[in-house]
Amino acid sequence: MDISNLIESFADFAKQKNIDRPTMIRILEDVFRTMIKKKYTYDDNFDIIINADKGDLEIYRIREIVEDDSEDIWDHDKISVTEARKIEPDFEVGEEVSEPIDIESFGRRAVTTARQTLMQKVKDLEKDILYQKYKDIVGEIITGEVYQVLSREVLLIDAEGNEISIPRSEQIPKDRYRKGENVRAIVHKVEMVNGNPKIVLSRTSPVFLERLFEQEVPEVYDGLITIKKAVREPGERAKVAVESYDDRIDPVGACVGMKGSRIHAIVRELQNENIDVINYTENLELFIQRALSPAKIVSMKIDKENNRVSVYLKPDQVSLAIGKGGLNIKLASRLVGMEIDVFRELGEQTTEEDVDLDEFSDEIEGWVIDQLKQIGLDTAKSVLALDKEELVRRTDLEEETVDNVMAVLSKEFE
């Protein structure tokens, strides 16, 4: 029974897994102490000496010599003088006996169990190391290589061969993955699932956008420009509020770069996501105005109590404020942290190509029209500019009602 092979193979395995020497020795000692406890019940009077490089193992049982008729004779760390002199004839009472224990005395089954325990401890330690490694870099960008594309997630491997994943919910809708290609994403969360660490990456998180700015804009990385807030609809549009701590630096210009050189690199990474970079200000009115860009606001009323703001625009600016599918107003609301309601400037006439909602009162119930007007939608095109989900979210209307309204309004322009 060659215990040295067991220790050497474990040492090689531990080195491959980058387990440091003190931890490796501690694991070995723990395993052999378990063997000792199983056979001798106690292990506090045993010394274990391990030379992992050579595969050497020495175990010594240490006991104090007492008289043959001593009342302590039955203690696990005591030995009678008669028994002690069988080991060494000149032993005396009061001395300590350090008796070498042959590993073969534990039996083949015990050593086989030790081997299995060692491998399991390394696997457990490896999992813990992996968990802690990624726990410390949550929110940071890493690169992984795609090795399997599944319906619910994409599996990648990192530089050390560990499995990491990007769930469908964390993928940009336009992303297309091919086996062998490198993908960048942030470490979104790390959790233990059935005792195994699961590393989840994200390409849809606003934090991913912020980290890309740090990589592409030196002033952001150096802290001269700070990103106050970033909101996005992955793959479609994003708004980023930035502020400079140096009056000589234009934060928007620095983030965009010469001829858009810096922002273009980020846009390409995010599958042509349209990014609006906005100069942050403590002036709430001005910040709301910038957030709704490119629309020009005539006036606004801020209701801080209900966390809402009503903005008034000229008719030709309403669709700009709302944006395609309601994206612009949705992102602006999230950026400023308030619900934004858009209204046409009072006294303005409806443009020729649009139709006032009141014109549809014979087909759409009055209370439904009132609901739409309450969120600033008073013409057919302003309603059609939003998608169904946005209308349901911002009103108390049910999906079926919204579908009916949009069908009626759409017929007007067919």
pLDDT tens readout for residues 281-340 = 999 999 999 999 888 898 899 998 899 999 998 888 888 898 888 899 999 999 999 999
Residues 6+ apart with CB under 8 A from 50: 7, 25, 28, 29, 32, 56, 57, 58
- H or E, element range at 309: strand 308-313
Last residue of a domain, one of 171, 203, 235: 203
For residue 251, what are its two tokens? Answer: 């934060």
Q: Do 76 and 170 sit in the same domain of this protein?
A: no
Domain extent, residue 193, equals: 137-203
| Shared-domain flag, residues 143 and 104 | no
Virtual CA dihedral for 331, 286, 264, 226, nearest 10 degrees?
A: -100
Classify residue 335: in a domain, yes or no: no
pLDDT for residue 175: 92
Kindly provide the residue ranges of all beta strands, DSSP E only, lying in 139-261, ordered along the sequence: 141-149, 153-157, 163-167, 182-193, 196-202, 225-233, 237-244
| H/E run at residue 340 | strand 339-344
CATH for 120: 3.30.1480
Which contiguous run of DSSP H or E holds residue 51? strand 46-51
Please state the φ and ψ torsions of residue 54, each to the nearest 5 degrees: -95, -10
Same domain? For 189 and 216 the reply is no
**pLDDT interval class at 2 (50, 70, 90):** low
Q: Where a domain ends, among 156, 188, 203?
A: 203
111 and 8, same domain (yes or no) = yes
pLDDT tens digits, one per residue of 71-85 = 888 898 999 999 999
Count CB atoms within 10 A of the CB of residue 28.
22
Task: Please tell me the number of Cα atoms within 13 Å of 237 on its side-chain side.
Answer: 18
User: In the Cβ-directed half-sphere of 334, how many Cα atoms lie within 13 Å?
Assistant: 15
Query: Residue 263 falls within a domain, yes or no?
Result: yes
Distance CA(116)–CA(294), nearest Å, equals: 66
The H-or-E segment that residue 221 falls in is: helix 218-221
340 assigned to some structural domain:
no
Question: Would you state the structure tokens that stand for residue 412, as one six-digit string?
Answer: 């007007």
The 8-class DSSP code of residue 391 comes to H
> Are the CB atoms for 315 and 344 separated by under 8 Å?
yes
Whether residue 111 is found in the same domain as residue 143:
no
Average pLDDT, the chain: 88
What are 366-404's pLDDT values in tens digits? 888 888 887 878 888 888 888 888 888 888 788 888 899
Question: How many CA atoms does the CB half-sphere of 67 hold within 13 Å?
Answer: 3
Q: Quick one: 191 and 216 in the same domain?
A: no
Does 176 share its domain with 213?
no
Query: Is residue 314 packed enough to be buried (19+ CB in 10 Å), middle (13-18) or exposed (0-12)?
Result: middle
The pLDDT tens digits for 155-186 are 999 988 899 999 999 999 999 999 999 999 99
Check whether residue 115 and residue 158 sit in a common domain. Answer: no
Please report, for the domain that includes residue 254, its CATH number: 3.30.300.20
Residues 195 and 209 in one domain: no
Residue 220 falls within a domain, yes or no? yes
| Same domain flag for 198 and 210 | no
Residue 98 included in any domain: yes
Same domain, 120 and 184: no
Q: What percent of the chain has pLDDT over 70?
A: 97
Find tokens 């770069």 and name the residue.
257
From 280, 312, 345, the end of a domain falls on: 280
Asked, for residue 380, whether it belongs to a domain, the answer is no
Contact in structure between 334 and 240 (CB atoms under 8 Å): no
Same domain, 121 and 159: no
On whether residue 387 sits in a domain, the answer given is no
Summary count for the chain: helices (H), strands (E):
15, 15
Number of domains in the chain: 3
- Which CATH number fits the domain that encloses residue 183? 2.40.50.140
Residue 390 lies in a domain: no
